[in-house]
Structure formats: structure tokens, C-alpha cells
Amino acid sequence: MTATISKGVGASLRRKEDARFLHGRGRYVGDIRPAGTLEVAFLRSPVAHARLLGVQKPTGLVFTAADLPEIRPIRANSTLPGFRASDQPALAVGKLRHVGEPIAACVAPTRAEAEDLAAACVLDYQALPVIADMLAARAPGAALIHEHWPDNAFLETRRDEDLTDLDAVAAAKVTRRLRTARQHMAPLEGRGVLAEWDPRLEQLVVTTAAQMPHVTKTGLAECLGLDEGQVRVVAPDVGGGFGYKGILLAEELVCAALAIRLGRPVRWLEDRLEQLTANANCREHFYEVTAWADAHGKLLGVEVDATVDAGAYSLYPFSACLEAAQIGSIFPGPYTLPRFRFRTVSACTNKPPILPYRGVARTGVCYAMETTLDALARQLGISAQAIRAANLVPPEAMPYRNLVGKVFDSGDYPEALRRAVAAVDVAAVRARQAAGEAVGFGLSVFCEQGAHGTSVYHGWGIPFVPGFEQAQARFTPDGVLELRVGLHSHGQGLETTLAQVAHEILGVDPARVRLVHGDTALTPYSTGTWGSRAMVMAGGAVAEACRQLGERALAIGAALLQTDRASVRLVAGQVVAGDAAVSLDQVARTWFRSPQNLPANVDRGGLEVTAGYRPDPDTGTHSYAAHAVVAKVCTETGMVTLEQYVIVEDGGVLVNPMIVDGQVLGGVAQGIGTALYEEMPFDSEAQPLAGTLADYLLPGATEVPDIRIEHMETPSPWTRFGQKGLGESGAIGPPGAIVNAINDALAPLGAELLDLPATPARVLAALAKAGRA
């Protein structure tokens, strides 16, 4: 039993995958270059909106859309009423709709030569009026990006409820207009694609840095007119996803078509310039929020008009509306909101198409809700803690269904708030403020729906709907346990945590468990790694596959022990009957190599099981957290210093607390980027202005403070071990908590910050607006 406690669910087992990563032995697309590989550089649009009249090509291998008619446009539809689909051509056809849109593929033995070809192309285009801003996109008479549409909106959603009567009864009412910046996700490894045609198998093999290899396979087959048996997608080690690699890429289609056409391996590796200029593609929201509260801070109603800059196209598979349309359902957050009115718009602009980034819409929503709550609290003269305590869903209400139908599974939200506040010496902050110091205390509380499945996604009608997650568990003849899953581990530590799950069920030492993932030829179909779902879905599927595998092993083991099934059980990797035992190694050896010793009635499926799993209900787990921040503001330069950062997090039962801490810390670092540093500026012609990481600032080790994490572990009643998805959580809370701390520091000066990131220039501008700088 000791082994179970130290290596199974709940153990902070060291990560199995770290040996190869820490020794530089990871293998990424950029490390894979078969003999004869040709490299691709893309000629990309230098302008945001233009009619494309022609491309003069230099001598060499240069391919435009006209040269690759076998590629069908990418179409990520949604069946939400009113959604307008956009055809995204793999290479531009007719129009250019954002800077960085691929126009031609230039192919050469080296990347440098391919770039020489791209530089020698001459573009003929006619400039069109540019929609550089999502609010301008909504203005009457704005230039149309998709000319057969009546306006520049992919989708508008609304919930109409008349709230005007609240003015008469509310003790406080605030309205805030808030903006979040367009970011780029900045995984260490960029995108990369290597496409090959295998003539023996008559199969396209695409090695790509992908979070969702099976979805990529389906998309490739659809757009290339192949059957899915003709496509194999391999996702090797992937250096960070965050949503950036949860997409069917135009570049994947082009490389695939070229590999088939040329009969040579064809590779494209994204560089940082492409990533910054063509793919700053997330987080840009605008909110107008009005909130009413009674004298105790209890919310009476909220109205929100939200716009998301969705960019020029609807991307596959998540579509252009996932982010904005979600705002309506997640805005109430962890609170018991009695009345709610919203409108959301997915605005089409001449910017790179939006992708859901870790936290998806929640980071912006949390920022808007949490800063609005603090504005209400300031107006009412009550504390940030008090207004939250007055509105959080109480534990006795769990499971709780809110007014827009979200179902929260479990938890004690007010306790998380209490603990976070208790972890900070707020009185000391108040004393420093009284002495004139610009220091502040800020909070944010939020919940994160994860692992939501069929019942949630079928209503979206986007290109995929997650169903039963499958895992395969099988023994090799020497007793190694192989787990095969269709999702992908790229930082989540699944090679370790799924081994822990298997150990929990079968008692096999995690060192003897191998996770096979990232290859559609070797794994069951899966929608992949997204939506904080892997540990719930694959964890549940692995547990079920191992349970069934264990049953088969027990039957064989019982026969070897010359007893019956009812007399044996699995203990620490052995089939045990009284004092007698056979190891699972011996069981495996018997099935594969000494079948003469098998019982006559043995299950002919052998030691190989594929099992499917879905929580019931599958509306998703809700992890939640409270973030508490102490920030100091330099009123001379506008510089913000994070002095303290505390997180109280409830992710249900933690499979590996150490890995959870890592997930939370990484997410918080990204959230600090959103709060204080990261912003892709665009000029009025929608030209991105940051082309290197010296201009686009990411927080580094010196910008992330020591972060204290406290865990609560309220099991989800709906999942296999009570675990909840929390991979995105850390990235959701920081902007709200940090800006609330800044505004707390600025409040005595009469200043308030509204827009992200809270750069020194914006802090100083807020002070100037208040007449204090």
C-alpha cells in the first residue's frame, strides 16, 4: 500500500518527461529533417486590406493559390443562429484581409534561399480602407471585409432583460468602459510543419506542432480531398501550446499539398517575426459594463456590452465566435447574479484571426467583472472582500445552476476568498497608504469551467464536438504497461500523471508505464488537449481502460494461482490470493509467450483494452481560485511592482500537486504579462508595430514575484477521482487582481486605470487625467 500512496493519485511524483527535456533531448519539428527536405518561406501580405491583383514570381518554386487548386478553403462554421462563415483560403485569393496573410509559398533547399525567393516576388494590389479597430468595425458604413456580408460581425448574441428599474432601487451604480490588449501567445517553440507523402502506405504524414493532432488530421483530409485513412498526423514534442497550436493551419495545408505535388519532404518553421506580425491573435476585448448593487454590495443586476476583435477569418475548429459568444455565459463568474443583460459581438477586423488563448474569454471577463466590483465597492465605501463575500455562490448551494444555466459542481468559494485575504497583511497595506505610500491591495475571484463535453459543445455546432474520450491500455510481453491517448501532452506532464492514474488502478510502477501520444496512427481519436480537459477526460479514460485490463489480468492470474476470480485481487502490481501471488509481468508473459498456460475461458481480447469515458453530467468541472495582490506604484514613472502574490486554488482532487503548482505558476506568469506587459500595438492601417521580443515585452524571471499557492481540494462529484480541470486557471486571475491593487493604490489620488496592460505610460496617463502627474 505504501507504493500506492507515494506514486498514485495525489503524489507529487517527479515528472517522467523531464529527463529528456532538461537534457535537451526533446524532439521537436525543428529537430526533424529527413534527407531531401525542402524548406518553405511564405510571402505574406504587407498590408491589412487590399484587393490582390497579382503576384510576379521569380524563377524558382513559388506557388500561389492558383497553383494549388487542390486545397479547399478552411471553413469553421458554427450553427449558432446568425453566425456568418468566412472562407479562409490557405493562400490568399482575390483579397488580402490582414498583415501576414499567406500569399505564396516559396520553396528552396534552405530557408534562407526560400526567403530570397519571397523577397524577389512583386505584389500587385489595390489598397482598401482598413478596419483596424473592433469598434470602428461596428460603425455604420464601415468598409466590409467580407463583401457579401451586411456588416463586419461574425455573430451577435444577446440576452434581453430590462434593467432600467434598478436605477431607482440601487444604492450604487457604476459604468466602466474597459479594454484589453491584443496579445500573441509566445510559446517558446513556434509553429512548425513537416509534410511527407509515403508512397508505400499511400499516406500523407504531417509532423506538426499540434495540440489536437486528430482534429488536424480531419481538417487536412477535408480540405485536401483525402480520406482520413490517407492522412497521419504526428505531433512530436511541442514547446508550448496555450491555444496557439489548437488550429488547422493554412501552412499545414500548403506544406501537405506541396509534399504530394513535389514528392519531397516539405517543411516550414515559423519564426518569431512571423509569430509577432502575422499571429498576434488573442485577448483583444472591449467591455461596457454597468452594475447595480444594494448598500451591502449585493449585486442587483449587471449589463454588459462586449466586443471581441475576432480578426479577419473564422479559424478551424474553434470558430470566430467561441470567445465572444462565451462572454454571455461566463460573465456572472462565481457570483449569484439575479439579473443580467448582455450583448456580445464577434467583430471582424483586418487583423490576424483570433484564437482562444489559455483562459479563453475568462481572462477578459474576470478583468471586467472584478474591476467593476471594486468600482462598486469604492462607491459604496465597503471593502473589496465584502462585496465579493456578498455575492459569491455559497457552498450550501452546490451544485449550483446560475441564471444563464451554468452548473457549478462543487466548492466553497467564500472560503477561498477568506483564505486569500487572510494570507495578506491588509492592515499593513492600509497603514502604508495612510502614510502616503502609493501601495494597494487587489483581489480577483473566478471559476474555470473545464472538460465540458458533448452537452455543451453540440449547441455551438463548430467543426468538432467532444464525445467519449478514449484511452487504450495494454501490456507488452515483458509486462510494461502502454497507455495510448489521442490528446497531446506539451507541458501538462501527462506522461507522469496518467502513469499515476494507471498506478492507482493497477499498481504498476509508473517507471514501467509508457504514454504513447501525439500520433494519429497509434492512438484513439480525440479532440485533443484544450479546455483544461486532459486530466479529467484522459484521466477518466485511462482509469477505466486500466480497470478493464486489470479484470483480464486477474482472470489470468487466478488461473495461474489455481484459484477462482473471486479469490484474487490486485496489490502493488501483483495478482494476489492469500499468501500466493503472480506478478503482472508473469501474467503478460503468459498471454503473449506461454498461451498454453491460459485458462480455457480466457477473454480473447487479451491484455489490450480501449475504453471510453465521459463524466456524467458532462457540463464540466469548475475549479476556482482567489488571487490576492499587493502592488506598489511609482507615481513618478508609472512603474508597478508586485510585492505579494497569493493564490488560493481549488482544483478538486489533485492528481499531482507539484505539477498543479507548475501549471498555476506558468499561467500566472502569462497573466502578469496580460496585466502589465504584453500588447501588440497596431497603427491605424492595422500594421503590427512590435516585430521582436525587445518591443513586445514578455515577463521574465525577474518580473514574476514569489507566488504563494494554497490548495483546497473539494472533489468534483462528477469525475473519476474528483479531479477538476485547472490548466488555464493561473492565466485568468492576474489582470483583475493586479489592476485592482493598482487602482487601490491610485484611489487616494483620484485616479483609476481601465485598460490593459497597465503599462507605466497608462498609469501615468491615469494620474495625469486625475490632475496628479
Partner 1 sequence: MKPAPFTYARPADWPAALALLAEGARPVAGGQSLGPMLNLRLALPERVADLRHLPGYAGVSMQGETVRIGAGTTHAAIEDGVVPGRLGEILAGVARRIAYRPVRNRGTIGGSFAHADPAADWCAVLPALPGHAIALGPEGERRIPLAEFVLGVFETALRGDELLRAIELSALPPATHFGHWKFCRKPGEFSKATACVLATPGAAPTAVLAALDAAPLVIADASALLADPTAEAARLVATLALEDPWRAALARTALRHAAEAAR
Could you list the residues that contact partner 1 (CB under 8 A)? 110-112, 115-116, 119, 271, 273, 636-639, 677, 691-692, 694, 697, 699-700, 702-703, 759-761, 764-765, 768, 773
CB of 769 to partner 1, least distance (A): 11
* Closer Cβ to partner 1, 235 or 269, answer by number: 269
In whole angstroms, the minimum distance from the beta carbon of 31 to partner 1 comes to: 18
Q: Using the minimum distance from each CB to partner 1, give the nearer residue, 198 or 636.
A: 636
**Count of other CB atoms within 10 angstroms of residue 51:** 12
Helix, coil or strand: residue 695: coil
Instruction: Please say whether the beta carbons of 12 and 658 come within 8 A.
Output: yes
The residue whose grid cell reads 505564396 is 104
* Residue nearer to partner 1 on the CB measure, 110 or 684: 110
For residue 135 the three cell numbers come to 469598434
For partner 1, give the closer residue by CB, 350 or 759.
759
Q: Which is nearer to partner 1, 426 or 749 (CB)?
A: 749
Q: Which of 362, 306, 277, 308 is nearest to 134 (CA)?
A: 308
Q: How far is the CB of 766 from partner 1 (least distance, A)?
A: 11
Is the Cβ of residue 198 or residue 683 nearer to partner 1 in the bound state?
A: 683
Q: Give the closest residue to 611 by CA, choosing from 547, 533, 520, 534.
A: 547
Query: Residue 702 Cβ, how far from partner 1 at the closest point, in Å?
Result: 6
DSSP letter string over 214-280? HHHHHHHHHHHT--GGGEEEE----S--TTTTSS--HHHHHHHHHHHHHSS-EEEE--HHHHHHH--
Helix, strand, coil abundance in the chain, percent, nearest 5: 30, 25, 45
Q: How far apart are CA 666 and CA 634, in angstroms?
A: 26
**Least distance (Å) from partner 1 to the CB of residue 160?**
42
* Shortest Cβ 272–partner 1 spacing (Å): 9
Q: Closest CB to partner 1 among 5 and 768? A: 768
- Per-residue buried b or exposed e for 376-399, using 16+ beta carbons within 10 Å of the residue's own CB: bbbebebbbbebbbbbbbeeeebb
Q: Residue 768 Cβ, how far from partner 1 at the closest point, in Å?
A: 6
| Least Cβ distance, residue 112 to partner 1 (angstroms) | 4
Q: Cα(329)–Cα(333) distance, rounded to whole angstroms? A: 9
Closest approach of partner 1 to the CB of residue 762, in Å: 9
3-state class (DSSP) for residue 138 = helix
Element (H or E) spanning 20, and its range? helix 18-22
Choose among 540, 475, 533, 529: nearest CA to 505.
Answer: 540
Query: Do 320 and 354 contact (CB within 8 A), yes or no?
Result: yes
Smallest separation, CB 548 to partner 1 (Å): 52
Query: Is 516 or 765 the residue whose CB approaches partner 1 more closely?
Result: 765
Residue with cell 479547399: 72
Alpha-carbon 418 to chain mean position: 28
CB of 114 to partner 1, least distance (A): 9
Q: How far apart are CA 285 and CA 267, in angstroms?
A: 35
- CB nearer to partner 1: give 231 or 753: 753
Residue 280 and residue 284: Cα distance in Å, rounded? 10
Contact (Cβ atoms closer than 8 angstroms) between residue 447 and residue 436: no
Measured from the CB atom, is 313 or 677 closer to partner 1? 677
Distance between CA atoms of 123 and 104, rounded to whole angstroms? 10
Compute the radius of gyration of the chain from its Cα atoms.
27
Smallest separation, CB 406 to partner 1 (Å): 38
* Beta bridge partners of residue 104, listed in sequence order: 43, 64
- CB closer to partner 1, 114 vs 626: 114
Task: Classify residue 685 as left (phi > 0), alpha (psi -120 to 50) or beta.
Answer: alpha
Of 136 and 770, the one with the shorter C-beta distance to partner 1 is 770
Nearer to partner 1 among residue 118 and residue 130 (C-beta): 118
| Beta strands, E only, 593-736 | 608-613, 621-633, 640-650, 707-712
Terminal CA-CA length for the chain: 65
- Tell me whether residue 131 or residue 741 sits nearer to partner 1 (CB atom): 741
Q: Min. distance of Cβ 698 from partner 1 in angstroms?
A: 8
Question: In the bound complex, what is the minimum distance in angstroms from residue 700's beta carbon to partner 1?
Answer: 6
Please spell the DSSP secondary structure of 683-710, one letter per residue: -TT--B---STTTS----GGGSPPEEEE
